[in-house]
Structure 1
Amino acid sequence: MTLALLAALVGTVGYGAGSVLQAAATSRASGPAALRHPLYLAGLGCDLVAWLASLVALRHLPLFAVQALLAGSLVVTAVLGRVFLDARLRRRDVAAIGVVTVALVAVAASAGEQAAHRPPSPFTAAVLGGLALCALALLALYPRGRSAALAVVAGAAFSGAALSARVVRVPAAGTPATRVVVDLLTDPLLWVIPVFGLLGLLAYARSLERGAVGPATAVMWTVEVVVPAVVGVALLGDGVRPGWAGVAVAAVLPAVAGCAVLALGPADAPHPATGPAHGVGLS
C-alpha cells in the first residue's frame, strides 16, 4: 500500500510539473512549433511517467483515493507556476492549497486495502456502453456544444479509463508468459483505456476552445473524482479503513472544492492543458 501511495504522489507531481512545462513552452512558441518545443516534450514525458504511476496506484488503492490525489496536481501546478512562471496567486488560492493538501492527506490516510473483488458480470458491457455514449456525446457536442457539457464528457471519458484500468485482468504471479500475453490482449477493458483517453483529450481540448480553461478544468475534475469514487465503492469493493468512512467523505468534498478554486484562478495562472494527464486516460 505504501508503494501505491508513492505511485499516486508521483502521478500528482508529474501531472502538475508537466502542465507547468507545457505552459512554459506555449509562452515561448505558438501553434505547431509549441508542440515541438523541448519544454513541451519534457512536459509530455512527465505526463507519461505520471500516467504509468497512476496505473500502479489504481491496482492497489481505492479509486476515490487515487483520483482525489491526482486532482491534487492542480496544487503542484499552482505552486510551480508561481515559482517558475511568475503566475499570480490570490489569497483564496493560497488558502485552497492549504485545504487541498490537508484534505488529500486525510484521503490517503482513510484508504483501505483494496479487496479482491470481481466486478458484476455486466460490468464490461456497461463500460463498452459508456464508451459508445461518450463517443456519441462528443460527436453531438463537438460542432456547437457548450464548454461545460464538453468538459463533462471529458471527465466521463477519463473516468471510464480509470475504471477500466482498475478492473483489467492481471494474471497471477507464476502464470506462463504466453498465458499472460493472451489474457491481457483478449481483455476488452485493456483496449478501451486508450480509446477513452483519446475521447477525453478531444472533448477537453474542444471544451477549452469553447470556454475558459478554469471552469472547464473544474467541471472535468469534479466528474473525474466523483464518478469513479461512487462506482468503485458501490461495485468494485473499494474499501475505507474501519471507522474512517466519515473522514473520507469529509476530506474528498473540500479537496474537490479546493481544486475547483485553483482551476478558477486568475487568467494568467497556468492550468492543465491535457486531460488524460490528469486521470488515467493517457494524458
Structure 2
Amino acid sequence: MSSAVLAVLAAVVASIGYGVSTIMQAVATRRAAGLAVVTQPLVIGAFVVDGLAWLLSLVALDRLPLFVVQAIIASSLVVVVVLARLVLGARMRSIDRVAVVVVVSALVAVSLSGGDQPAVAPPDGFATTMLVSAGVLAAVFVLAYRRGRPLLLATIAGLGYSAAAVAARAAHASGGLLDTVLQPLAIVIVVSGVVAALAYLRALERGSVGAVAATVSVLEVVVPGVVGTVVLGDVVRHGWDPVAVVGTAAALAGCIALAMSPANTAAEAVSPVA
C-alpha cells in the first residue's frame, strides 16, 4: 500500500475521530457552563479522541497537501450527522442524505487531485510570522471569551485549527515527530490548538451547533488550502485544477448543508444535569 493511500486513510480516520469528539463536546456543553465544561467526563474523553485524531492528521499532513487533508477532516460533519441519527435518534432530511453522498464523492476527487506530496521546508520568517499570529489569536480569544458572539468565537476556533494545521504541515517538513516537537512551530501548534478547542467549546455553549460547525469547517478548509498553495508549495496534479476546485467547493457546500441539519442540533436538546 502506497504512502499516499496510507495518508488518506489516516486523514479519514482522523475525520471520524473529530466527528465523534464533536458529538461528545456538544452534549457536554449543555451540562456545564464556562471553563467548568472542561471538567466534564465527556469533554475529557473528547480531548483524548481529538488528540489521537490530531496525531493521525500529522501522518496525513506529512504526505498530502493541506487542501486535501483539511477537506477530508472537514467531512467530520458527515460523521456528526450520522451519529446523531444513530445515537440520538435525530431526524435526517433528504438533503442530508444527498449531502453525505456529495461530500464523500467530492473528497474522493479532491484526494486524487492532490496526490503524494511530501512536506517542504517553509520560507524564511515563516515561523516568526506564525508565532506572532498565534499570540494575537490567543489575545483576541481572551478578550472575546466572556462576551464574544458565537460567530466570533467560531471564527477564532476555525483560525486556530487552521494555524495548527499549517504549522504542523510546515513543522513536519523538518523531519520526524521528534523534530516537530523540538522546533518553534510546535509552540504554534499547541497554542493554536488549545485556543481553537476552547473557543469551539465556548461557541457551542453560546450558539447553534450548525452555525458554529459550518463556520469552523469553511475556515479550516479555505485558510490552510490557500496558505499551503501560496506559501508552502502545495500543488494540484497537472490537469486536475478544475477537479480540485469543483471538488473542494462541492465538499464545502455539502458540509454547510450538513452543519444546518436537524441532526446537528440534536445534542442541544439534551437536558442539563442538576
> Considering the TM-score relative to the shorter chain, is it more than 0.5?
yes
Amino acid of the structure 1 residue aligned with 2:129: A
* Counterpart for residue 205 of structure 1: 201
For the residues of structure 2 that align with 1:21 and 1:154, how far apart are their CA atoms?
17
Secondary structure at the aligned position of 2:73 is classed as helix
* Counterpart for residue 274 of structure 1: none
For the residues of structure 2 that align with 1:103 and 1:129, how far apart are their CA atoms?
35
- 5 Å matches for 1:1-283? 1-21=4-24, 26=28, 30-31=31-32, 37=41, 43-115=46-118, 117-169=120-172, 183-184=179-180, 186-266=182-262, 268-270=265-267
C-alpha change, 1:63 and 1:199, in structure 2 (3 Å) is same
CA deviations on 1:45-81 (whole Å, 9 max, x unpaired) are 4333211111100111000000000011110121122
Secondary structure at the aligned position of 1:60 is classed as coil
Secondary structure at the aligned position of 1:151 is classed as helix
Are the aligned partners of 1:115 and 1:237 in contact in 2 as well (CA < 8 Å)?
no
Measure how far apart 1:170 and its partner are: 5.6
Are the aligned partners of 1:62 and 1:114 in contact in 2 as well (CA < 8 Å)?
yes
Measure how far apart 1:33 and its partner are: 9.5
Task: Specify every segment of 5 or more residues in structure 1 that has no aligned partner in the other structure, as ranges.
Answer: 174-179, 272-283
For the residues of structure 2 that align with 1:52 and 1:263, how far apart are their CA atoms?
25
Task: Specify every segment of 5 or more residues in structure 2 that has no aligned partner in the other structure, as ranges.
Answer: 269-274
Are the aligned partners of 1:114 and 1:237 in contact in 2 as well (CA < 8 Å)?
no
* Counterpart for residue 278 of structure 1: none
C-alpha change, 1:222 and 1:106, in structure 2 (3 Å) is same
Give the aligned length: 261
For the residues of structure 1 that align with 2:181 and 2:79, how far apart are their CA atoms?
36
C-alpha change, 1:268 and 1:156, in structure 2 (3 Å) is closer
For the residues of structure 2 that align with 1:251 and 1:184, how far apart are their CA atoms?
31
Are the aligned partners of 2:120 and 2:173 in contact in 1 as well (CA < 8 Å)?
no
Root mean square deviation of aligned Cα: 2.6
Measure how far apart 1:44 and its partner are: 4.2
TM-score normalised over the length of structure 1: 0.82
Amino acid of the structure 2 residue aligned with 1:212: S
For the residues of structure 2 that align with 1:265 and 1:192, how far apart are their CA atoms?
33
Are the aligned partners of 2:8 and 2:60 in contact in 1 as well (CA < 8 Å)?
yes
For the residues of structure 2 that align with 1:117 and 1:96, how far apart are their CA atoms?
34
Measure how far apart 1:169 and its partner are: 4.8
Amino acid of the structure 2 residue aligned with 1:109: L
C-alpha change, 1:138 and 1:242, in structure 2 (3 Å) is same
Are the aligned partners of 2:131 and 2:187 in contact in 1 as well (CA < 8 Å)?
no
For the residues of structure 2 that align with 1:18 and 1:144, how far apart are their CA atoms?
25
Are the aligned partners of 2:25 and 2:201 in contact in 1 as well (CA < 8 Å)?
no
